Amino acid sequence: MVLKSYSKINLSLSINSKTRSGLHEIQSYFCLINLSDKIRIRKIDKKKDQIFFNGFFAKHVKKTDNSIVNLLKLLRKLKLILSFYSITVTKNIPVFGGLGGGTSNAAYILKYFFKKKISKNMFHKIENLIGSDLRLFFYRQGFLENLKTIKLVKKKKKLIFLLSHPNINCSTRKIYSMVKKYSPKKKFTFNKINSKKKFINYILNNKNELQPIVEKKHPIIKKLLTDISLESGCYLSRVSGSGSVCYGLFNNERAAKKALNKIKSRYPKFWFTLAKTV
């Protein structure tokens, strides 16, 4: 069986508070995009799982402490699985880039095992281990109202992105540890954003509140985002999550391709691709 493990983009991200457990309460409009890892999984007659990583970003994955290893250990501890598996992951999603690649891998393997039929109690235990953004990968597009609630989008927006990884790995924990200010929570009403124009205006009027921290720590990211934003057809440029992947949201694929060629020539050592919502 081959699974597609999609990545996510945070189009907005506000930080509302810090919980007693140390997690940050956030709100975010997010979407899944067609940049994906490929996961090959099969049951084996062994006493131990065999997990392999290949692909462009495989070298950044910890081989003995990653989302897949930890997920399988927990599922076996909870007696939710008994067999052992051979799993090979082709890492096309940048690691430590804010696109949720590792969490996505765990989410799609979880869906493979349980076909979305898993109790809330079990899901909560798995989420505590893997990370609070695990639930994002069970929806293609939506608004994360708080760490436990996602508002679904009835009419999904078709969006085009230019993505760049500037050869910088951002630690989510470290970036969040530098947060000093919090924003009040907002109510999100989908029926007031009933056209693409209104949606774009909503995104423009919000921001990723982690971005100034990332830009201060890595000035090259600020420069790259500025260059992307100046390209014709670009609505905005931001980092996804805690970074370091930078993206530009474009009004059409042709403009995004043209911008890709121009920006790529300025930053020949950076990784680039185009992506769209799934």
Least confident of 48-57, 114-123, 132-141, 251-260: 114-123
Domains and CATH numbers, the chain: 2-152 (3.30.230.10), 160-276 (3.30.70.890)
Q: What is the pLDDT of residue 194?
A: 80
Q: What is the pLDDT of residue 80?
A: 92
Query: Could you give the percent of the chain with pLDDT greater than 70?
Result: 100
Average pLDDT over residues 198-210: 95
Question: For the CA atoms of 36, 37, 38, 42, what is the dihedral angle to 10 degrees?
Answer: -130
- The encoded tokens of residue 261 equal 């060629």
Least confident of 25-29, 115-119, 138-142, 241-245: 115-119
Looking up tokens 């609630």 gives: 149
Least confident of 99-103, 129-133, 265-269: 129-133
Closest CA to 89 of 99, 102, 107: 102
| Confidence bin at 53 (pLDDT 50/70/90) | very high
Global pTM reads: 0.95
Average pLDDT over residues 199-219: 96
- Are the C-beta atoms of 260 and 274 separated by less than 8 Å? yes
Q: Which helix (H) or strand (E) holds 164?
A: strand 160-165
Question: Percentage helix, strand, coil, to 5, in the chain?
Answer: 35, 30, 35
Average pLDDT over residues 31-59: 97
**CA pair distance 99, 120, nearest whole angstrom:** 25
Query: Could you give the percent of the chain with pLDDT greater than 90?
Result: 88
Residue 154 or residue 93, greater confidence: 93
| Confidence bin at 116 (pLDDT 50/70/90) | low
- What value does the mean pLDDT of the chain take? 95
Q: Residue 144: CA atoms inside 13 Å, Cβ hemisphere, count?
A: 30
